[in-house]
Structure 1
């Protein structure tokens, strides 16, 4: 009886993450391939967090405690992390679909590289409050291109919208809430933003060709990168913007289509975007 009780006490424990995912904890297990299933496992050696992308710049998804046993699908290159196991740019894609810095994971197995779509630009840092327009643009190019890679939104359009909507990163919305595109909450912040914030703003009625002052609720982001990604995701997933994606290689028409679909109430929104793209030759940043 006592031997069986001891076996139960030393057996694997289960931890339920905030998302509902179950991680197996086995403090005495050696990281390797899992019981002939072909799965690669590792032991987390320090408390940390899983992320939606391979960087600490995005918000945490779940907390992972030290000595947690995780199942690893493949590896990607991401943000450089100094950890308890080592220092590395490697991030592990877990069976939960989230990323964990490999610098804190112990495993004796060889982890294969993830397929190319996963190793595409991984959540660049994005622009913060900057001292010049040139610095803002230089910082915004990488996340704009990452959005084009993932969501097919022309980088030139993303850059023009970020410049126009945020006033080159100097608006209260971008400085305080990392919101570079005037993204509104509409009842909830969605799956990427972390909250909502009310601001007085100007809206226009296209039917009457008049503008007025009102209060609107805008999304708040953990990082600028999240703002860029949420912008691309919204354009790619909302059906009202579907027509724009008939013009992935025509940024001017793409801009006109999202305006027509109701992205902004500014009556001259398309002209402003195209003017910015032309003036700063933003087309040069579009992926081939």
Structure 2
């Protein structure tokens, strides 16, 4: 149920000649730096040294603009743009792999020595055993996660640690254990012979990506088409969708909307996130009882590839949950629709209905209820 009070080979050094097309002569970066755009599916980790084993000190998101001061060589990375050992410095002790970056010009080489990297991670050599072809390496411990490579039966793979993920029935065993490889991908242990692996440490929460600050008018203009498409597909009044998105995401500035594209606080249910979301994320949040008493708790919320996916899932969420059936008798009466949704238990805030309808009136969101 939505809440209503808001808030991922060894390191090889490139000979200077191989990156001549990428960098200019060594020296201090010019003050302005080089403008670049991050090309990644969701977010890219920022590290304190040019290595995927270095400490995570933040993250940047898809299409985010960054300023690169200089480039150095580090661990080889195969990314969405290229495979390279080049790493871009975007701040003091802050590096991202150039494998995920498109830059607007030549980048100067960093002067001096790069920050020291952590000692090599210990690993266990495993052997892939599959009677049904190559085993898919995933970006996370789930059969639904993005493909990160393929491992042929009999292949040797360096394993670092294990996590619990989707249950898999494989050639070796049936288990929910997934093994993280040295390259950062995950392989189901159901297809692996290896020694005992330690549990992976809890993931470090990345620093929230900076939210794009839109004016109310800009936010509404950007969100209206998705809200109207939601009415055509599911029957949820566009004014309701817009007002809920404004209230629950703080005009798109909340951590959940900025980092997970979740504009409505829709939660995962027992680890399930439906067809339109792409995962779950556990965060601290605030819940309120019907009596108005609020308290801090933790909950798993859905994550999305885009704002459009979040808006579609909002309509789908209301449509497929029978508790909200009564609201769909008023698909052309926005106030009655949201009243029924609220009464059915959508939100725990006792003032939720008043807040939503207040936004609808203040910003004349009813004008987007075209009923077409």
Query: How would you bin the TM-score normalised by the shorter chain?
Result: 0.5 to 0.7
CA contact (8 A) 1:196 1:220 kept: yes
**From 250, 253, 259, the counterpart of 1:170:** 253
TM-score, length-scaled by structure 2: 0.42
Corresponding residue number in structure 1 for 2:370: 287
Structure-1 residue corresponding to 2:234: 151
Distance 2:213 2:319 in 1: 29
Q: Between Structure 1 and Structure 2, whose CA radius of gyration is higher?
A: 2
The CA deviation string for residues 174-212 of structure 1, in whole angstroms up to 9 with x for no partner, is: 000000011101221111111111111111111x43111
Q: Which residues of structure 2 form unaligned runs of 5+? A: 1-143, 148-210
Greater per-residue helix proportion = 1
Question: What are the equivalent positions in structure 2 for 1:4-83 lying under 5 Å apart?
Answer: none
TM-score normalised by L of structure 1:
0.55
- The 1:287–1:171 alpha-carbon spacing in structure 2 relative to 1, beyond 3 Å, is same
SS in 2 for 1:287: coil
Instruction: Select 1:230's aligned residue among 303, 313, 325.
Output: 313
| Residues 148 and 287, structure 1, Cα contact 8 Å, conserved in 2 | no
SS at match of 1:168: coil
In the other structure, the counterpart of 2:331 is 248
Unaligned ranges ≥5, structure 1: 1-59, 64-127
Is the 2:214–2:251 Cα contact (8 Å) retained in structure 1? no
2:274 matched to which residue of 1? 190
Task: Quickly say closer, same or farther: Cα 1:62–1:215, change in 2 above 3 A.
Answer: closer
Cα RMSD of the aligned pairs, angstroms, is 2.0
Output the CA distance in 2 between the equivalents of 1:163 and 1:129.
Answer: 14
- 2:286 pairs with 202, 223, 242, which one? 202
What is the CA deviation profile of residues 135-165 of structure 1, one whole-angstrom value per residue up to 9, with x for unaligned ones?
Answer: 1111000000000000010000000000001
Aligned 8 A contact 1:245 1:254 in 2: yes
Task: Report if the CA contact (8 A) 1:197-1:219 is conserved.
Answer: yes
Q: Distance in 2 between matches of 1:184 and 1:231?
A: 11
Instruction: Tell me, in whole angstroms, the C-alpha distance in 2 between the residues paired with 1:177 and 1:209.
Output: 28
Given that 1:204 and 1:266 are in contact with CA atoms closer than 8 Å, whether structure 2 keeps it comes out as yes
Q: Give the 3-state SS of the residue equivalent to 1:153 in structure 2.
A: coil
1:279 and 1:200 mapped to 2: Cα distance?
Answer: 30
- Maintained 8 Å contact 2:273/2:302: yes
Measured in 2, the distance between the counterparts of 1:158 and 1:286 equals: 10
Residue 61 of structure 1, CA deviation: 12
Match of 1:259 in 2: 342
In structure 2, how many angstroms separate the alpha carbons of the residues matched to 1:177 and 1:62? Answer: 16
1:174–1:180 CA contact under 8 A, matched in 2: yes
Residue 269 (structure 1) aligned to one of 344, 352, 365: 352
Q: Within 2, Cα distance between the matches of 1:61 and 1:209?
A: 39
Aligned residues: 164
Partners of 1:159 and 1:260 in 2: CA distance = 19
SS at match of 1:202: strand
Q: How far apart, in 2, do the equivalents of 1:191 and 1:167 lie? A: 25
- Other-structure match for 1:133: 216
Name the one with the larger strand percent. Answer: 2
1:182 aligned counterpart, secondary structure: coil
Partner of 1:160: 243
Moved over 2 A (4+): 60-63, 128-131
